[in-house]
Amino acid sequence: MIARWRWLLNQLTKRLWFRASLFSLLGVATALLAVAFKDFIPESLPTRIGADAVDKILGIIASSMLAVTTFSLSTMVTAYGAASSGVTPRATTLVMEDTTTQNALATFIGSFLFSLVGIIALSTGAYGRQGRVLLFAVTIAVVILIVYTLLRWIDHLSKLGRVGETIDRVENVAMEAISSRIQWPCMGASAYPIDGVLAPCAQPVKSRDTGYVQHIDVHALGLIAKEHQLQIYMEILPGSFVHLGLPLAHTVALNNGRVDDQDPLAEKILGAVTLGVRRTFEHDPRFGLSVLSEIASRALSPAVNDPGTAIDVIGRGVRTLTCWGKPQLTTSQIDSDCEQVYLRGLTVDDLFDDFFAPIARDGAALIEVDLRLMKALVSLSQINPGVFHEQCAKHADLLLKRANIALALPEDKDQLSALARQLMV
C-alpha cells in the first residue's frame, strides 16, 4: 500500500496552486533561458528572422492571458457551485482535482509570467540581438501551447460541472477504490481474526484527535511491529470517524510484555494514521458508494424532483458493485513486512447498506425507482449469487416493505412483488 509521505505528496499535487506555481516557475525560467544561451546564437541570424517582432508578441500574450485567466477562474468557480448545488458538495473535491482545468489555468498563468518577465528583460537589454532570436523561438512555442490549451479548454468547458460529468467522476473513483481493495483486501495487512477476540494482554492505542481516518500507513505499522516484536490489531479503516480517546488499535507484545498508551511506541503507531476533517475517495470505497447514493437521494428530493438521475445512479451503482463480485484473476496480496498487522476487510453488507438503503428510503413512493432498484438487486444476484444473493434478498424485502407503505395503487405493489419473487426462490 501507499506510504504516508507518498500519499501526502499525491494529495499535494492535486491542488490547483501547486500546478499553477510549477507552471509559473517554468514560465519564468523559460523567459530567462535566452539570457543564458544567447552566446550560442550566430550574430547574423537576428537580421534574417526578424526577431524584433518579439516585443509585440509578448505584449499581446501578457494582456490576453491575464484576461483569459480571470475568465477561466470565474468559470471554474461557477462550475464548482453547480456541482455542489446540482449534485452534492462531496463531489466538488473531484471537480476541483480535474487535471484538464488545472493544466489550463496553470498554462495561462505561466504564459502570462513568461511574457511579463520577457518584456522586463527586453527593456533592460539583457537579451541582446542574439538573445532575441532564442526568445522569439521560445515565444512561438508558447503561442502554439496556448492555442492547443485554449482548444482543449473550450471543449472541456462544455462538460465542466455538469451533473452527468460529475457522476462519471464519482463512479470512476469508486470503482478504482474497490478494485484496489479487491487486490489488497486488508490493505496489505493480515486479516483480522474472525472471532474478534484478542489476548487479555492487548493494550489499546487511543486517539488523541477527532476526525475521519483518511489514510493508514500499513507498511509503517508493519515495520513498527517487526522492530518491537508486536502484533498490531487496527480497529479502524479509512473512512472511520474517530473521537478523542477512542481505541484506534490494540497491541499484543510477542514477548508477553506491555505497551503503555503514553509510550513513544504508541506515538509511532498514531503517526501512521492520518486524520482529517472529511473523508477521501482513494482508500475508502464505501465513501464513493455513499456519494453516489447521496446524488440519487438529492435527485429524489421534492426540490429537485429528478427521478431520471436517480435511475441513472442506480445503474452506475450496479456497475461499481459488479467489480466486487467479479471472479478475480489475481489473488489477494499481503505485504511480507505487514504480516504482524491485522485489519478488517470490507463486507458486502456494508457496501449494500451504503448504496441501496438511502435510495430505497427516498424513492419508495416512486414506482419507476422501486422497479429499477429491484431490477438492480436481481441483476447483482444473477451476476454472483454466492457473493450477492443474501444481501440482495434482504434489501429486496426491505424495499417491498417501504413500497407497500408508500405506494398507493395495488397494481404497482403487485408489479414490484412479482419482480421480487425472482429473488425469493
Helix (H), strand (E) at residue 247: strand 247-253
pLDDT tens-digit profile of 92-144?
A: 888 888 888 888 888 999 888 888 888 887 777 766 666 677 778 888 888 99
Inter-helix orientation angle 385-406/367-383, to 10°: 170
pLDDT band at 248 (very low <50, low <70, confident <90, very high): very high
Pairing of β 190-191 and β 341-343: parallel
Q: Tens digits of per-residue pLDDT, 330-346?
A: 455 677 778 889 999 88
Q: Provide the 3-class DSSP secondary structure of residue 305.
A: coil
Angle formed by the axes of helices 307-325 and 367-383, to 10°? 10
| CA separation for the pair 296, 319 (Å, rounded) | 15
CA 369, CA 371: separation in Å to the nearest integer? Answer: 5
* 159-186 average pLDDT score: 88
Q: Provide the 8-state DSSP code for 237.
A: -
* pLDDT tens column, 74-83: 888 888 887 7
Dist CA 374 CA 400 (whole Å) = 9
Collapsed DSSP state (helix, strand, coil) of residue 256 = coil
Instruction: Please give the distance of CA 97 from its chain centroid, rounded to a whole number.
Output: 8
Axis-axis angle for helices 307-325, 348-362 (nearest 10): 170
Burial 144-181 (b: 16+ CB within 10 A, else e): eebeebeeebeebbeebbbbebbbebbbebbbebbbbb
Q: Answer for the pair 257, 239: CB distance below 8 angstroms, yes or no.
A: no
Q: d(Cα 106, Cα 409) in Å, to the nearest integer?
A: 57
Calculate the alpha carbon distances from 194 to 45, 199, 345 in Å. 78, 14, 11
d(CA 23, CA 16): 11
Per-residue pLDDT of 356-401, as tens digits, reads 999 999 999 999 999 999 999 999 999 988 889 999 999 999 999 9
Which residues touch 10 (CB under 8 Å, ≥6 apart)?
Answer: 2, 282
Distance of alpha carbon 138 from alpha carbon 31, whole angstroms: 8
Query: pLDDT tens digit string along 13-57?
Result: 777 778 888 888 877 787 777 666 656 555 555 554 555 677 788
Taking the CB of residue 124, how many other CB atoms lie within 10 A of it?
Answer: 8
Three-state secondary structure call for residue 254: coil
DSSP 17-60: HHHHHHHHHHHHHHHHHHHHHGGGS-TTHHHHHTGGGHHHHHHH
Compute, in degrees rounded to 10, the torsion defined by CA atoms 313, 319, 324, 327: 170
Residue 50: predicted pLDDT: 52
pTM (2 decimals)? 0.83
Beta strands 247-253; 241-242: pairing state: unpaired
Integer Rg of the chain from CA? 28
DSSP letter at 119?
H
Rounded-to-10 torsion of CA 83, 87, 92, 96: -50
Contact by Cβ (8 Å): 65, 112: yes
> Residue 391: its pLDDT value, please?
92
Query: What are the strands of the beta sheet with 211-216, ordered from one edge?
Result: 241-242, 211-216, 273-276
C-alpha cell at 78: 461557477
Q: Quote the cell numbers at residue 84.
A: 455542489
The secondary structure element, H or E, covering residue 275 is strand 273-276
C-alpha 378/C-alpha 349 separation (Å) is 16
In the chain, % of residues over pLDDT 90: 33
Q: Is the pLDDT at 289 greater than 90, yes or no? A: yes
Q: What is the C-alpha separation between 159 and 225, in angstroms, rounded?
A: 48
